[in-house]
A = this chain, B = another copy of it.
C-alpha cells in the first residue's frame, strides 16, 4: 500500500489546496513542542498537502479520493493540541476544517455547529442569539475549534461544574463521515458518542457537532492570594463545593508560579504568593464574598469588575489549564508539565504528599474539576525538565503515590489516556477506516495489539527526518 499523493492532489485540485513550504509546515504542526520528549521525535513531521473542504460533500470527496489512492488523512482544527494529535506522522493529506465554521442552530440548552468553528465564535453566536454559552471550553477558546475540542480535548473552563467532555450529556450528537471506498455519514448520540469523541480523528471525521449550552453571564474574574499553599488548594475546592455559588473555573498556582511566570500579575504578588484564579457568576458574588470573608488568610487582589491594575491581566482563564505551562515556557524554556488526577476523597492529602516529594522541581498547578459529582483536582503540574529518564521517574513516583497520570509526552491515544485500548474506538475504526488511513500512528491497538507499554511507543511508519 503506497500512497499516490499526486493522484489524490490532482483529483482534489478544484478545492482549496496548499502544498507550499511554510504553510505546509505550519499546518503540519501543533503544540507538541510543549513536550521535550515529543519535540525530539516529531519536529520534522510534514504532510504532503493541505486541503480545506467547504462542506460535508467535500469532506466525503476528500476521504473517498484519499481512500482510493491510499493517502493518509490527518484532520486539523486549529492545531492547538499539545500531544502531536494533529500531526501527520506518515505524511499525506492534512484536512483543514477552517472553511466549515457555520453555527447552524441555537435553541435553549443546545447549539448545532460545524466542526471548524472557533470556540469563541460558537459562544459569540449563542450569546447573541439567547444569552447562552458552551458549558465548558478549552483555555485555547480564542483559537481552537469545537471539532478539535471534541476530538482531541478533555474539558476545561466549566469542568468545575459540568465535569468532563466524556461525561454523558456533555456532547449531545456528532455527525461523522467514514473513510471507505464509499464514505458513510453516521449520527452518534448517547452511548455511541464514545466511539468517536476524543479519538483524535482516527476513526471518522466529525462534520457536525451538537453541544449543550449553559447561560452566559458576565463572569467576575478574580485572583485570591494566600501565603499558605494548602490553604489555597483547600479554598479552591471549597469554592466548588458552595452549591449556591456558580463558578466556572478555580485554578491553584503554587508559589512562585504567579510571581515568576505571570508578568502582569507579578507587581501584585511576591515570591511566596500562592494564587487562586476564579470566575464566578455576578449574581453569585455576594455568596462568594460571604465565603471569602469566612476564610482565613485569603486576600482578594484582583476582580475584573473593580480593580486598579494599570495593566489589565487579560482573561483569568488564560492563566489556567494549559496556558499556565505556556506562560512558564515563555519565561523558562526548560519547563514542561504533567497531567495528574488527584482523585476524591484523598485529593488534598495527595496534593500535599506530592508537594513534599517534588517541590520545587515539580510545582503544583491544580484545576478543580467535578468527577462523579465530587470536586477534586486535575493537576497540570509544572516540571523543571532535566532528562527523559527523570521525567519517567517522576511519572512512576506519582503513580506509586496513587495519582493517575495522563502522560502528555506521548502521541498515542492509549499512552495519553489510561494505557488501555478503548474497545469501542478500535471496533469502530475497523468499520470506518478499514485501510487504517485516518491519522495513522495514534492508536496503538490498531498498529500493534500486543504492545506492552513498558517503553514509549514508536510508530514504525513515522516518516524519517530528512
State the A residues within 8 Å of B (CB).
108-110, 130-132, 135, 161-164, 167-170, 172-173, 189-191, 212-215, 217-218, 240-246, 281-284, 286-291, 293-294, 345, 370-375
Question: A168-B291, A291-B168, A373-B375 are contacts. A283–B212 as well, Cβ < 8 Å?
Answer: yes
- Residues A284 and B169 in contact, CB atoms below 8 Å apart: yes
> A20 CA to B382 CA in the complex, in Å?
76
Contact of A243 among B172, B215, B217, B371 (CB under 8 A): B371
- Residues from chain B with a CB closer than 8 A to the CB of A281 are 109
> A173 CA to B289 CA in the complex, in Å?
14
- Residues A290 and B191 in contact, CB atoms below 8 Å apart: yes
State the number of copies, please. Answer: 2
- Residues B190 and A290 in contact, CB atoms below 8 Å apart: yes
- Residues from chain B with a CB closer than 8 A to the CB of A293 are 190-191
> A289 CA to B192 CA in the complex, in Å?
12
- Residues A170 and B244 in contact, CB atoms below 8 Å apart: yes
Question: A190-B293, A215-B108 are contacts. A169–B246 as well, Cβ < 8 Å?
Answer: yes
**Can you spell out 8 A-B residue pairs with CB atoms less than 8 angstroms apart?**
A167-B244, A167-B287, A172-B283, A190-B286, A191-B294, A214-B215, A241-B372, A373-B375
Q: How many Å from the CB of A276 to the closest CB on chain B?
A: 17
- Residues A245 and B169 in contact, CB atoms below 8 Å apart: yes
Main secondary structure of the interface of A (DSSP, over half): mixed
Contact of A162 among B168, B240, B244, B345 (CB under 8 A): B244
- Residues from chain B with a CB closer than 8 A to the CB of A371 are 243
- Residues from chain B with a CB closer than 8 A to the CB of A189 are 286
Contact of A131 among B130, B161, B162 (CB under 8 A): B130
> A341 CA to B164 CA in the complex, in Å?
30
- Residues from chain B with a CB closer than 8 A to the CB of A244 are 135, 162-163, 167-170, 212
Q: How many Å from the CB of A423 to the closest CB on chain B?
A: 16
Q: How many Å from the CB of A344 to the closest CB on chain B?
A: 9
**Taking CB as reference atom, which chain B residue is nearest A194?**
B290
**Taking CB as reference atom, which chain B residue is nearest A243?**
B163
> A167 CA to B217 CA in the complex, in Å?
21
Q: How many Å from the CB of A24 to the closest CB on chain B?
A: 38
- Residues from chain B with a CB closer than 8 A to the CB of A131 are 108, 130
Contact of A170 among B135, B215, B287 (CB under 8 A): B287
Q: How many Å from the CB of A407 to the closest CB on chain B?
A: 24
Q: How many Å from the CB of A150 to the closest CB on chain B?
A: 13
- Residues B241 and A373 in contact, CB atoms below 8 Å apart: yes
Question: A109-B283, A162-B243, A217-B108 are contacts. A288–B169 as well, Cβ < 8 Å?
Answer: yes
- Residues from chain B with a CB closer than 8 A to the CB of A169 are 242-246, 284, 286-288, 290
Q: Looking at A162, A167, A168, which has the most chain B CB atoms within 10 Å of its CB?
A: A168
Q: Looking at A213, A241, A282, which has the most chain B CB atoms within 10 Å of its CB?
A: A241
The 9 closest A-B pairs by CB, nearest first: A169-B287, A163-B243, A169-B244, A241-B373, A109-B283, A168-B287, A170-B244, A167-B244, A190-B290
